[in-house]
Amino acid sequence: MSSTADQMLGNEASRSERQALVMRYATVRSTSERLCAPLLAEDCCMQTMADVSPPKWHLAHVSWFFETFLLKPYLSGYREFDSHFAVLFNSYYEGAGAMHPRAQRGFMSRPPLEQVYRYRQHIDEHMALLMETVTEDPWREVAFRVILGLHHEQQHQELLLTDIKHIFASQPLRPVYCDAGPEASSPTGVLAWHEYSGGIHEIGHHGAGFCYDNETPRHRVYLEDFQLASRPITNGEYLEFMGDDAYRRPELWLAEGWRTVRERRWQAPLYWECCDGRWHYMTLSGMRAVNEYEPVCHVSYYEADAYARWAGKRLPSEAEWEMGAQDVAVGGNLQESGRYHPAPARGTGVVQLYGDVWEWTQSPYVAYPGFRPLAGTLGEYNGKFMCNQIVLRGGSCATPADHIRASYRNFFYPADRWQFSGIRLADECG
């Protein structure tokens, strides 16, 4: 196993005897299916914009990952479920051969959803066999790849939720995916500021536990003293920005942001609609009036940056964010809450670093000094996207709790809005 893979794996393999890994495998896999349970087969084949993949495709692709990187190389005598799937469900791995064009994922009525579930079952049976029978020699590499595959599937669980939201929001009938429960209506506290000391710090993954290659190597950075806001910006605060004519004032925007605002005629975050003079938004529980206490969500980097400029502040760098989060235990409104929607901030101190909304940083997504991608085709997982994207941190209401950590680097294009993405401000000190 490559040393990068080794670093990414941490001590997960050692503590997880095979049995533990088998159980975790079962849990993660069944969660994906549970998330799709409320969907019709017809929902599962929709691709409502190029960024969205049909839920059926997600379900198959994560299985393809196990088939391609585990069953084919490590399970002797393995026969693939369907030879077309190697192409159909390859996302972007050039090293794994040809791939179905991304923009045509929504044209796949076949294989039908049922067949995809049979594919999953086929994979699960053979994965069980592999985990049971593989000898000690390749075990450590196998275990690493299983864990990577499970994190991969968890990452797609979040995409499943954001893609389902986009699919449902594209339906004029505006279906309801889940019951949101009662809505919080008590005010959020005033935005406060917390200071952090600069100097030489270390960021990047360390210690026990899995990480992606893009979180390595841990390395030194120099920071000046800085402050972080106690919580993300709320819808109420964002409405003030909108009310100050922000979507019509070029001086608040990056040049590309301003171009995007005009070309796409943005006037509010994604999913917002003005009905009878009042803002509403689509949620996974259907249309709702905008709740001013919740964190603003579904904003692009351009909007986050413009808000910060309007507020006289800035976005944090990813190093600053990681300093702020590294001693905070993971918790909050994550996927397990089942709400799939941000909730108003509660409590004191710096809250909501994890969950609710991914927080745009000011940092372009680039390699850490000394970065080495995983060897072979798995090296395409993260490294080749290190251009033109921006780092987001902290996870959202759609992220599984055991998938997020202080060093986790998510990344999207600055115009992307369909993720649960929000705004936390930062500032200099003094």
Where does this chain bind a copy of itself (CB under 8 A)?
40-46, 48, 84, 87-88, 92, 94-95, 100, 104, 106-113, 167, 170-173, 175, 200, 219-222, 224, 250-251, 253-258, 301-302, 305, 317, 362-364, 366-367, 369-370, 380, 384-388, 414, 428
Comparison of 34 and 384: residue with beta carbon closer to a copy of itself: 384
Q: Measure the CA–CA gap between 253 and 305, rounded to whole angstroms.
A: 7
Q: For the CA atoms of the chain, what is the radius of gyration?
A: 22
Q: What minimum distance in Å lies between the beta carbon of 365 and a copy of itself?
A: 9
Q: Measure the CA–CA gap between 28 and 39, rounded to whole angstroms.
A: 19
Q: What minimum distance in Å lies between the beta carbon of 154 and a copy of itself?
A: 22
Element of type H or E holding 159: helix 136-169
Q: What minimum distance in Å lies between the beta carbon of 223 and a copy of itself?
A: 8
Q: Measure the CA–CA gap between 169 and 173, rounded to whole angstroms.
A: 9
- Both structure tokens of 212: 């992606």
Q: Measure the CA–CA gap between 391 and 408, rounded to whole angstroms.
A: 10
Comparison of 140 and 309: residue with beta carbon closer to a copy of itself: 309
Going by C-alpha positions, the residue among 252, 297, 235, 304 that lies closest to residue 271 is 297
Comparison of 210 and 253: residue with beta carbon closer to a copy of itself: 253
Q: What minimum distance in Å lies between the beta carbon of 1 and a copy of itself?
A: 20
| 8 Å CB contact between 190 and 203 | no
Q: Measure the CA–CA gap between 186 and 292, rounded to whole angstroms.
A: 10
Comparison of 107 and 179: residue with beta carbon closer to a copy of itself: 107
Comparison of 100 and 288: residue with beta carbon closer to a copy of itself: 100
Comparison of 271 and 385: residue with beta carbon closer to a copy of itself: 385
| 8 Å CB contact between 343 and 397 | yes
Q: What minimum distance in Å lies between the beta carbon of 84 and a copy of itself?
A: 5
Q: What minimum distance in Å lies between the beta carbon of 152 and a copy of itself?
A: 17
Q: What minimum distance in Å lies between the beta carbon of 47 and a copy of itself?
A: 8
Comparison of 27 and 388: residue with beta carbon closer to a copy of itself: 388
| 8 Å CB contact between 423 and 315 | yes
3-state secondary structure of 8: helix
